[in-house]
Amino acid sequence: MGTYPSSAIQDLYPDDFAHCFGCGRYNALGHQLKSYAEGDEVVARFMPGPQHVSVPGFVYGGLLASLVDCHAMATAAAADLAAAGVQTEVTAPRYVTAALRVDYLKPTPIGVELEIRSRVKEASEKKKVVSFSVAAHGTVTVTGEAVAVRMPKTMEQLLKT
Amino acid sequence: MGTYPSSAIQDLYPDDFAHCFGCGRYNALGHQLKSYAEGDEVVARFMPGPQHVSVPGFVYGGLLASLVDCHAMATAAAADLAAAGVQTEVTAPRYVTAALRVDYLKPTPIGVELEIRSRVKEASEKKKVVSFSVAAHGTVTVTGEAVAVRMPKTMEQLLKT
């Protein structure tokens, strides 16, 4: 299979849906997370800033929840691209989070680049269940699962009004 | 019962534990969430900024996860203060998140002050299960549950080294 698409998934979102605080390329104040397909996994790397602290020395859990949320939506979109088998880069579908579960196994040290890995566990046309982990220095500190749904038509309509 | 403590719970955290990006009074770049006891609930109000967008018109789910996370930890701490029955304000214990589950029932509109409400569902000395909701304009858009644990001694020791 190799790596398809080679761009960050978030860079394939339509312009109208690329302002997300977590991963939008047009949100100058946001995290601008970038997630890449790697075989049957999707991988992102992120360096928290010193402000992203919880208690001294450790990363804020809310940031971790934010990163895995955006990463999981990108993972769902990547699965659709891979299933379609399109080998030229196209627009990625936009998923939204229906549910997010994050298990904080141990404190995540700050000042270390984090590696987020995910894969699709269950897939239907409109819904994906994505499992993920976050590791620091090769040690997994967070695991969890997200339920991603294709953006509902009602929401798209709201966006056009 | 009334309202005890009358301060924001986060303002009662020890100085060393008041740098959290979500709720630390000393984190100038953070959200500085303030949660208040109200009877047997704990309530916080928060106005997302325009940068906290997901898709246009709606609040970023990662911000919502961040707010409920900090709010749930404050709820756990408030329960200990109430149980101790101390009627002068004291230092609040610091809880950390073991697990967080967020159900996004519907999109949360941006540009509206959000109301977060929570209560303790299950309590032991070292662990609390907290349920919460987020409402915009009186409509609940998010519900969920967090497992809060008293900060482990190993973590406190790490902080002292």
Mean of pLDDT over chain A:
92
Report how far residue A158's alpha carbon sits from residue B86's, in angstroms, rounded to the nearest whole number.
Answer: 49
Q: Where are the domains of chain A?
A: 9-160
CA distance A144 to chain B (A): 9
Chain A residue with minimal CA distance to B30?
Answer: A51
Chain B residue with minimal CA distance to A27?
Answer: B51
Average pLDDT over every residue of A108-130: 97
Which residue has better confidence, A56 or A158?
A56
Task: Please judge whether A60 and B21 are an interchain contact, meaning their C-beta atoms are less than 8 angstroms apart.
Answer: yes
Instruction: List residues in chain A touching B: CB distance below 8 A.
Output: 16-17, 19-22, 24, 27, 29-30, 51-58, 60-63, 65-67, 69-70, 94, 96-104, 107, 151, 155, 158-159
Indicate the residue of B57, B94, B159 with minimum beta-carbon distance to A159: B57
pLDDT tens sequence for chain B (161 residues): 456 788 999 999 999 899 999 999 999 999 999 999 999 999 999 999 999 999 999 999 999 999 999 999 999 999 999 888 766 668 899 999 999 999 999 999 999 999 999 999 999 999 999 999 999 999 999 999 999 999 876 666 656 55
* Those residues with Cβ within 8 angstroms of residue A76's Cβ, 6 or more apart along the chain or in another chain: A93, A95, A120, A128, A130, A148
pTM: 0.93
**Whole-number pLDDT of residue A157:** 60
**Whole-number pLDDT of residue B85:** 79
SS3 category, B144: strand
Counting residues of chain A whose pLDDT is more than 70, the rounded percentage is 90
The 10s digit of each residue's pLDDT in A72-82 is: 999 999 999 98
**Whole-number pLDDT of residue A156:** 64
CATH number of B9-160: 3.10.129.10
Report how far residue A53's alpha carbon sits from residue B113's, in angstroms, rounded to the nearest whole number.
Answer: 25
**Whole-number pLDDT of residue B1:** 42
CA distance A96 to chain B (A): 9
Give the residues across from B102 on adjacent strands.
A100, B144
Indicate the residue of A29, A103, A159 with minimum beta-carbon distance to B99: A103
Q: Give burial (CB, 10 Å; 0-12/13-18/19+) of B46.
A: buried
Task: Please judge whether B66 and A66 are an interchain contact, meaning their C-beta atoms are less than 8 angstroms apart.
Answer: yes
The 10s digit of each residue's pLDDT in A35-67 is: 999 999 999 999 999 999 999 999 999 999 999
Task: Please judge whether A21 and B94 are an interchain contact, meaning their C-beta atoms are less than 8 angstroms apart.
Answer: no
Closest of A73, A96, A61, A146 to residue B58, by C-alpha = A96
Which residue has better confidence, A88 or B70?
B70
